[in-house]
Structure 1
């Protein structure tokens, strides 16, 4: 199936009893087992059936299989949040004494996980500009086990060449390449096809698309996913609720048409802001002036619905804009059908110091825009009106 068909029909479950057109919701914490021997077998082989929803659930399983299909992965694992997915994926590959290399522009809570939490368990780290493949090569040590890339990167939309990084990583047999592809979604980018070992998403965002679910997902080989599930998800307990999984599956059916409109609208908004006298700089990979535009053209099927912009006048100008938007909503998430605006330095990246943020172009006067599927003219009019107040 081609992509527009696959997002609707891939791994679709038909109710075996009543033939429901929409997949059933299995809102159950536990499952009745037929006999002692089967109970023993399933508890030792949780990927072959259902025992307890912390290990697996039919509604969650449908979501997992759908993501695996769209990401061309052997298997996938749903979790309670995007950060839960990042934590389980990385910690399943790391132990005390190991080393992780990660990008200088990543989600603020991922940055905190790698710089504040993992070191307390004896994991070393190096921060590099992942658009510089030679810098990644230099950062890899004998004890390196993970190279972690976020592309497009939050919030400056920096694009890393996944295939080039994968070529470097594969020269080191014990190192795995993990890619956070949340900003792209499987509709625009497939990191595993480009050589990555693991892809993670905050399913809260574009996969769901409607702002009513918190969830994450990991897609990879069956070997890696089995390890993520048991013992890591089993013990961390970052379990995806069946109802949330069911909602995401319904949301994913419109992923293709949503992403097409996100991309179309974002390009129009980016071009408007790029010419606006109150805007210092626009960060959108669809603009030819973006430093990694050519990489985005090569590895993505569109430029996405996310962008950031530096507003002249700093924090005071940001406050005026964010307090007066009408179509945009001031909210810290992204990927919804409706458009959102946030102040990255004080919201998604508050875990970084001002010096750390400034070093990677996350400035005090910067806003991040998640462009929805409204009429682009209304979004532009809203921004034009509030920028006139600055």
Structure 2
């Protein structure tokens, strides 16, 4: 009888212990938002892959925060590169009470979404949106871990004037917050460097026919064209430049055009060899953890790499690092720790200015050799 009682007591203890252990596991959700549909889906999938990889790595670390083992999960949303869908996705993540957000890709979606996250008290970190206006409201929930357009647009203008000695440029933008913003900075810097801006045209982020714009620009005989926009437009534009005989015109663009996919979208046009583009940070080969990380990425997501996934990976890891330092997954508790970050990531050592901008950002200029993106610096 005594043995049976002991066995029953032991069984009860085991059940109770199991219940306690189950209660000691806490799910922490990291939101990921990017365009997973439409012409920019290749960027969005790459961004999502970076977050997914981070979540997988975090789960292997058996992290305990606030006395509870953390199970990390990603909640992914598609904003289709559309501002309205972007704010809807942000609200959905707020309603789901995710613990933090990585996103968005486009400045046009990130800027309005940042107010939604601020209002619901959830921090978000973007490794892709570059318009300087993002951090101007001073939200304590907004962080950027990549160089902004002030660095990208100006850097390209300096290179055009100082290294290439170009005199006349035309500027095109896609009227998005990103495209118009980076084009404005390029134009302003180019003029300050003594270059003549012979034409300013605009298109949309859905257009594919640029013959009228390019014909008008061709008549002004520019040395170069700067395009503020993304690669689904840059590719066809380069192809059409070739069709118009604009084979000696340099083509500048920010990180939106600076992708692995650009040459493919240009259908092998010779004008791709005239591209000079800039993206934030150093090249993947020069990132502190870039080579090893890239090997793992390719094993997990073959031939899907575009540009921003190392940054979205670091963004997710940065959120987790702040939670660990705060010993809390509650956004209200750990958000103040983000501004104090000194996180050694794949892309760089991440520290912030008081407004949430990355300290000491760098940029990389690239060209395309035999259709392959090749860093200049």
TM-score (norm 2): 0.33
Query: Which has a greater percent of helix?
Result: 2
Query: Which has a greater percent of strand?
Result: 2
